[in-house]
Amino acid sequence: MKNKFFTVSTLMTTLFLCGLFVWPTVPAEAQTFDFDKLHKKIEKYTVILDIKIELSFGMQTNEQEQRVLGTIVTADGLVLFDGSFLETQNPLSAISGMTFKTTPIKIEVSRLDGEKYEGEYIGVDNFTQIGFVKIIPPGGSDDKITFDYVAFARNQKFVIGSWVALYMLLPEFVDPPLAADVGMISNLVKSPEDFPLTVGFSGLEVASVLFNDNLMPVGVLGSLINPAADSDIGFVESFSDFNYPLLGIITAERLEKLIASPPQKGEIERAWLGITLQALTGDIADFFDIDVPGGIIVNEVVKGSPADKAGLMVGDMIIEINGQPVEVDREELIPVFQRRISEMGQGTAVEFTILRPSDSRVDTLKVFTSLEKRPLAASEAEEYENKTLEFKVRNLVFSDYLFYNLNEDELYGVAVSEIQMGGLANIGGLMIGDIIQRVGSQTVTSVEDLKNVMNQIEQEKPSEVIFFVWRRSKTLFVNVKTDW
């Protein structure tokens, strides 16, 4: 089947009137994708993922199933998919002690010819929300199977008005399971990042492989990061009033880095500097009589962080990274700087050019540091679940110490992250956010400590378990009755 013509004129007109669409600089001609030929290409490396996930938040836990389109991207069976539903970061974690998590507990990988495999969850990239699953051969790791995989075309020159095509996954009751769709490149966004913007697609098609009119795979459909967002995770709804995401092409060059080193669940590769910050606005620059396009003002330096080791001080203004200007002249652009640091990776040597105000002048200095691994988030910390008393704990993380304004040597224990409503721990008075420091006479500094103590208690079967906890800067005893 050849699709002779596809029009998105209504959508283009709407976007144009709202200032989001730039009319093509080349004539937008009717496209003639050979979808018969394209389908034969994609059926070799396209799969369907059926993912059973466990959702947990505080006292609430349930299971759901998610069905998404996947693409094999390596010969040993690495699969790329839209992992946005597996987001685990939650800004309330440090405050409440609770973590919102979506944990894959079973994955089935189905090829279009019906062949099925078990899949292993690898992780999700924070910035693109692209997830990765590894196909497990039927015979285990010793069973060497080579898969056909997509090879993305590099160094593409994208042109406004050119057509791109993809395949989307249809609901499970529909057969065959895939449908073709086409869209158009509507703009070549330069800020906050290089991003070929598209029209004609929907958020349901994110992570689908995009093909140009020569049927070459040029990337996958992704979402533009909003620099004004509070988090560096998730897609951006620039048209928030209409709930309209800005979709476009995540290019081969960016995908190659993710495929070569996919994010690993529980492993942190993102870099960290260790400062709190604000934008160097035009008004502040005028006050100090400095002529720069923007920068970062250091408000606080975390003790022992790379920034601290480099000698950065409160009040310093970072204006260059490795000789490149930091063009952050308003608060909304701060996440652009944060992402730039984060994606450099741990161990990267960095040269900062800074301006340091003194009583009578502003000095220009060079400082050097080596970026370190970003601290674990609460949702990434090691956990332990006690099914007898029906509660779960996690190790303390950096955000806990930062929130309570304490050092690691001033606060120890494990944080209660989940409690079953009506369970023994809940009835006994244990609360989410409590930091357990001792059980009976046994000191607890990690989930491993608590696990060992609880194993011993379950053998002895006492009538009650006495927890010594730290709760909102106060300590108290919590007596939990048992029911062996």
Residue 177, token pair as written in the block:
């399971």
DSSP 8-state secondary structure symbol assigned to residue 22? -
CATH number at residue 207: 2.40.10.120
Residue 171, token pair as written in the block:
């609901």
For residues 330 and 281, the answer to whether their CB atoms sit within 8 Å is yes
Give the contacts of 173 (CB within 8 A, at least 6 positions apart): none
pTM for this prediction: 0.65
Of the three residues 241, 266, 291, the one that is the final residue of a domain is 266
The pLDDT of residue 394 is 93
The full DSSP string for 386-437 is ETTTTEEEEE--HHHHHHHT--TTT--SEEEEEE-TTSHHHHHT--TT-EEE
pLDDT at 53 over 60: yes
The pLDDT of residue 1 is 38
pLDDT at 402 over 70: yes
Give the contacts of 116 (CB within 8 A, at least 6 positions apart): 108, 109, 110
C-alpha span between 14 and 17 (Å, rounded): 5
Q: What are the phi and psi torsion angles at 339 (to 5°)?
A: -65, -40
User: Do 224 and 147 fall into the same domain?
Assistant: yes
Most confident option among 21-25, 218-222, 302-306, 359-363: 218-222
User: Do 172 and 107 fall into the same domain?
Assistant: yes
The pLDDT of residue 193 is 77
Q: Find the angle CA(223)-CA(228)-CA(229) to the nearest 5 degrees.
A: 65
| Tens of pLDDT, residues 169-212 | 999 999 999 999 999 999 998 877 789 999 999 999 999 999 99
Please give the residue range of the domain that contains residue 436: 381-481
User: Do 385 and 434 fall into the same domain?
Assistant: yes
> How many residues are recorded in the chain?
484
Give the contacts of 227 (CB within 8 A, at least 6 positions apart): 192, 332, 333, 334, 335, 336
pLDDT at 269 over 70: no
For residues 315 and 297, the answer to whether their CB atoms sit within 8 Å is yes
| Of 19-23, 227-231, 303-307, 475-479, minimum mean pLDDT range | 227-231
Is residue 231 very low, low, confident or very high in pLDDT (cuts 50, 70, 90)? Answer: very low
CATH number at residue 448: 2.30.42.10
Of the three residues 266, 292, 316, the one that is the final residue of a domain is 266
pLDDT at 19 over 70: no
User: Do 32 and 109 fall into the same domain?
Assistant: yes
- Longest Cα–Cα distance of the chain, Å, equals 80
Closest CA to 205 of 219, 188, 187: 219
What's the gap between Cα 356 and its chain centre? 34
Range list of β-strands (E), 226-274: 247-251, 271-272
CB under 8 A, 24+ apart: contacts of 177-180: 177/48, 177/112, 178/39, 178/42, 178/46, 178/69, 178/112, 180/3, 180/33, 180/35, 180/38, 180/39
User: Do 42 and 140 fall into the same domain?
Assistant: yes
User: Do 361 and 470 fall into the same domain?
Assistant: no
C-alpha span between 121 and 297 (Å, rounded): 39
Of the three residues 204, 234, 266, the one that is the final residue of a domain is 266
pLDDT at 11 over 50: no
Is residue 148 very low, low, confident or very high in pLDDT (cuts 50, 70, 90)? Answer: very high
The single residue listed with the structure tokens 């969850």 is: 121
pLDDT at 430 over 90: yes
The pLDDT of residue 57 is 67
Mean pLDDT across the chain, nearest whole number?
84
For residues 284 and 297, the answer to whether their CB atoms sit within 8 Å is yes
User: Do 39 and 89 fall into the same domain?
Assistant: yes
| Tens of pLDDT, residues 345-401 | 788 899 999 999 988 889 999 999 999 887 877 777 889 999 999 999 999 988 888
